[in-house]
Amino acid sequence: MQLRPETRGGALWVIVEEPRIDAAVAIQFKDRMREIAAGGPDRVVLDLSQVGFLDSSGLGAVVAVLKLMGEGRRLELAGLTPTVEKVFRLTRMDSVFTIHESPEAALGEAGA
Amino acid sequence: MTARPLCPLAGAGQGGPGAAPALVLDFAARPFEVRRSLATVARHLTEAGLGPETRGRVEIVLAEALNNIVEHAYRGQPAGRVTLALRREGGLARVRLCDHGAPMPDGAPPARAPARGTLPEGGFGWTLIRALSARAAYRRMTGGNCLDLEIALG
């Protein structure tokens, strides 16, 4: 599970360098995110622009990451590819996250 | 160990005589095997000239149905196998998934996504299958399950 954490504009960015977040890797994703986000900035942006496919297990893992970050911290999503965007929309989880069209758009709001 | 396919692949509801499935896959009910099979289906659809939007739709439906087989029908049975048969008919992909696992609870797919607080981490599978397929028909057979899915192409 390739996740690349970076700090940008006071936020923690996590670039998912994987083509898929599916049932085969959902638990790994959640565990790695838990390690990466622990004790970091309140604002976390997940860059999904390299992820072409996410199934309901992957979706559940992203929701789980949001929940384990706890009160007062934000998990935002950026760069959803069409199939990934569809999964968030059809399950109405698009209303739970702040979703940026692109990583650049999310960066524009750094520190907001 | 090889298990015979549970459902006759050219059987009822799968087209007339001579309408052999374009793609038949038999694989272990494990997450990485599911992933590999989905890649084969995607390649097949690409070769048939279908675009990424359609491929994505088919892939989500099949991923959810197959994940359910791995996680529920074959819970605690790592040696379980799945048969996938796909054919294109008119503007539809018709897919039959067969397994030898446990039946669905209550003998049918869950009616609605279970309400589990404001932020559920699961229960999305059938929401996605219903939203993206034209038809989903489940049958319990002797010793196994059969799920027929129809997904619009294009």
Whether residue A23 and residue B52 make contact (CB cut-off 8 A), yes or no, is: no
Sort out which chain A residues have CB atoms less than 8 A from B59's CB and list them: 53, 83
List all residues 6 or more positions away from B36 whose beta carbon is below 8 Å from its beta carbon: B27
C-alpha distance from A31 to closest chain B C-alpha (Å): 15
pLDDT at B95: 97
pLDDT at A110: 57
pLDDT at B21: 80
Pick the closest to residue B103 from B63, B136, B68 (CA basis): B68
pLDDT at B57: 97
CB B154 within 8 A of CB B54: yes
pLDDT at A70: 84
Domains of chain A: 3-108 (3.30.750.24)
- Write down the mean pLDDT value for chain A: 94
Buried b (16+ CB within 10 A) or exposed e, B56-65: bbbbbbbbbb
Q: What is the DSSP letter of B71?
A: I
ipTM of this predicted complex? 0.93
Chain A residues whose C-beta sits inside 8 Å of any chain B C-beta = 20, 22-24, 53, 55-57, 59-61, 63-64, 66-67, 82-83, 86-87, 90-91, 93, 96
Residue B36, chain A, CB below 8 Å: the answer is no
Pick the closest to residue B153 from B71, B46, B70, B64 (CA basis): B46
From first to last of its 154 residues, chain B has per-residue pLDDT tens of 445 555 654 444 444 444 678 999 999 999 999 999 999 999 999 999 999 999 999 999 999 999 999 999 999 988 899 999 999 998 999 999 999 999 999 889 988 665 556 788 888 999 999 999 999 999 999 999 999 999 999 8
Q: Tell me how far apart the alpha carbons of residues A74 and A67 are, in angstroms, rounded to a whole number.
A: 10
Please state the φ and ψ torsions of residue A98, each to the nearest 5 degrees.
Answer: -80, 120
CB A74 within 8 A of CB A90: no
- Beta-bridge partners for A12: A7, A44
Residue B64, chain A, CB below 8 Å: the answer is yes
Domains of chain B: 23-111+122-152 (3.30.565.10)
pLDDT at B79: 87
Sort out which chain A residues have CB atoms less than 8 A from B64's CB and list them: 55-56
Categorise residue A59: left if φ over 0, alpha if ψ from -120 to 50, beta otherwise. alpha
Nearest to A53 among B53, B59, B131 (CB): B59
- pLDDT per residue as tens digits for the range A6-57: 999 899 999 999 999 999 999 999 999 999 999 889 999 999 999 999 999 9
List all residues 6 or more positions away from A100 whose beta carbon is below 8 Å from its beta carbon: A45, A76, A77, A78, A79, A106, A109
pLDDT at B106: 86
CB A42 within 8 A of CB A70: no
